[in-house]
Amino acid sequence: MSHKHIETEAIRTQLERSQYLEHTSPLYLTSSFVFEDAEDMRASFTEEKERNIYSRFTNPNTSEFVAKMCKMEGAEDGYAFATGMAAVFSTLAALLNSGDHIVSAQSVFGSTHTLFTKFLPKWNITTSYFKVDEVDKIESLITPNTKILYAESPTNPAVDILDLELLGNIAKKHNLILVIDNCFATPYLQQPIKFGADLVIHSATKLIDGQGRVLGGVTVGRADLVREIYLFSRNTGPALSPFNAWTLSKSLETLTVRVDRHCENALKVAEFLEGHGKVNWVKYPFLKSHPQYKVAIKQMSQGGSIVAFEVKGGVEAGRKFLDAIKMCSLSANLGDTRSIVTHPASTTHSKLSEADRLEVSITDGLVRVSVGLENVHDIINDLNQALEA
Ligand SMILES: *Cc1c(COP(=O)(O)O)cnc(C)c1O
């Protein structure tokens, strides 16, 4: 059968159907699976047979979720995790040895940054960073021990864009494994494997669930690398639960329509903010004023759900703005149906010095809006009254 479109794959990929011929996939809430006899059990454990043994290894619900993600990302294989961070950690832990080195973009998700700086060094794995506007320096950071090139695009929280094709070429030239956290874009807007990524990671907690209900993560990509990640994970236990996998597989069925509306609303919010007198600047990948606009339109089909902007007046103005918000939520999640507003300088990044914050493009007045699916006029009205307050 010919390759179907991403919307269809997300809906029509169904691996299992029980004797009841249910229309949507059933939930397989079982920790283990039974064997026919001693020979079946022997063959299953030696992997001569591909079948479910124990839900820490595989489960029909997690397999269906992974199969959908692979089709949508154009990947050979994958493994699903309990959270996005379990996916990031297990992927790196499975592939790296003591003495190995990572070259990473400086602007990465907070916990990923903490993993690189605080925990991986315990196993003698070190990381060097490049700034998003200094990609010409990447090659000078590569050493004989460098094994992984790591980045997110768009970045959190400043929505900077990294050129995936450029990263793909560097990784190929230096024989590095290119790992891209594609959480902000989703496979609907951007497929990093097309640009040379070897592995793509998602926090499924964000737009993939998209309704603020469950945590989840997934890594998809080259089959030989996924095999290593699978063997590590089946023995260390970060697996996604069947219930969350079932939820996330259902969520994928509506991903494209949800993300279309997220992007439509976010672009309108960005345009509104750009014209507002109390705002210094706005960053949204599909605004012409975005510093990497040309790269964004090359590799993404729409701009995503996150808008970053700076309120005039620094930290105090940022805090005041947050206090004046009436409808949007003050919450740590993103990619939800509900619009969410955060002020990184006084919350998630408050422990960093102002200089360190600037290193990752977080100015004191920076506000991040995860634009939701409410009527866009209501979102804009809320932001507007908070700016005027
Ligand atoms: C949220 C997030 C993660 C971590 O995912 P969890 O599901 O919260 O563990 C990783 N990367 C990015 C870009 C994220 O936004």
Strand 366-370 and strand 306-311: pairing? Answer: antiparallel
Per-residue pLDDT, 49: 80
Whether residue 117 is predicted with pLDDT greater than 50 in this model: the reply is: yes
**DSSP-based three-state secondary structure for 268:** helix
- Residue pair 199/177 in contact (Cβ under 8 Å)? The answer is yes
Alpha-carbon distances of 224 from 199, 206, 314, rounded to whole Å: 11, 27, 48
Per-residue pLDDT, 96: 98
Tens digit of each residue's pLDDT (9 = 90 or more) over 138-161: 999 999 999 999 999 999 888 999
Tens digit of each residue's pLDDT (9 = 90 or more) over 250-268: 999 999 999 999 999 999 9
Reading the block at residue 223, the tokens are 């089959």
Task: For residue 30, name the pLDDT band (cuts at 50, 70, 90).
Answer: very high
Q: Output the ligand 1 site: residues, CB below 6 A.
A: 83-85, 109, 152, 156, 181, 183, 203, 205-206, 215, 217
Mutate to test the pocket of ligand 1, among 206, 218, 334 (most ligand atoms within 8 A of CB): 206
How far is the C-alpha of 55 from the C-alpha of 212, rounded, in Å? 24
Average pLDDT, the chain: 95
Per-residue pLDDT, 1: 47
Residues of the chain with CATH 3.40.640.10: 6-252
Superfamily name and number for 255-388: Aspartate Aminotransferase, domain 1 (3.90.1150.10)
Task: For residue 341, name the pLDDT band (cuts at 50, 70, 90).
Answer: very high
Per-residue pLDDT, 298: 98
Mutate to test the pocket of ligand 1, among 89, 109, 113, 189 (most ligand atoms within 8 A of CB): 109
Whether residue 239 is predicted with pLDDT greater than 90 in this model: the reply is: yes
Tens digit of each residue's pLDDT (9 = 90 or more) over 322-331: 999 999 999 8
**Does domain 6-252 fall into CATH 3.30.450.90?**
no
Mean pLDDT of 221-241: 98
Torsion of CA 208, 209, 210, 216, to 10 degrees: -80
Helices (H), the chain: 6-12, 38-45, 60-73, 84-95, 110-114, 138-141, 164-173, 186-189, 223-236, 242-253, 255-274, 293-299, 314-324, 354-359, 376-388
